[in-house]
Structure 1
Amino acid sequence: MGASGWEYYVPYQEDLGAALDALRQSVFDAQDYYWDPWNEDDTDEARVRPSTLDQLWEDEQVQEEGTHSILDMHRMLRPGEDPDYGTVQPVQPAEAYQMAGTDRLTRTDVQAIEPLASRRWFGRCAVLHDAHGSPEEIYFWGFSGD
């Protein structure tokens, strides 16, 4: 199947990790992720969608192929941490300025910062501001899945 790009906008909250957790739960609850209902061994037995995120990640096929969604991201990186599989890294002010010419990003700057998430199984997020410069929403984007 190959990797899939994904993107989400959520209302701003100061705790980016909590925003990631809430987004993941929302996507899971809406069943807005890739789920192959058939077993890999080509049997006629359909796989039932899991009822919790923990159950989702117990599924061997999900572990190998991912969900092609934010569900493949497990943790928000802290400042100074190196990006790793399944992590989301916030856009830093210097990156924002280099890519978009401002450190107060808005929705109009999204296209300029999208190249910051070029690696598979790794996500980015950026705080987006309103016309008055106040934080308004958080943009999450990346690529995952096999």
Structure 2
Amino acid sequence: MIRSILVLGVSALALSACGSGGGGGGGNSDVKKACASIMSDPEPAGELAENDVSVDGFCDCLTGQLAEMPDADAERMRTTMIAVAPGFEEGRSGQEIYSELREKGQADDATPADVEAYENMDDLGEFLEDVIDGMASNGGACPAA
């Protein structure tokens, strides 16, 4: 269930609207802010609460997990998270964000950024779900990467 909500949530605006430095402190700050915005959606927020995981704890864990990923994969996740966060900050639902990105990503005149964001949404949803599941199975603590 959380996977589908996260997939919906991570599929927002075009990737061209964002960018993140790989591995730098500023990039982590941007990722943590984007993470907090995404996790403000009622469904994932509820799942965190059910597992006694705070948003800050989750986002810290997620940032650590990104640091352990291959650089290209981590950058795709960072960039996609930062791209979708504004939709949540505007109070839009994951479903609204997903629908918009699907339309943009599948349109005949889709930009490369639109297509990339659409293609990355499943991977990001799986990654976010994996972090939640890992924390849930570890008593709310971040598991070793």
TM superposition score category, shorter chain reference: 0.3 to 0.5
Structure with the greater relative contact order (CA < 8 A, sep ≥ 6): 1 or 2?
Answer: 2
TM-score for both structures, normalised by structure 2: 0.33
Q: What is the TM-score when the length of structure 1 is the normalising length?
A: 0.33
- Structure showing the higher strand proportion among its residues: 1
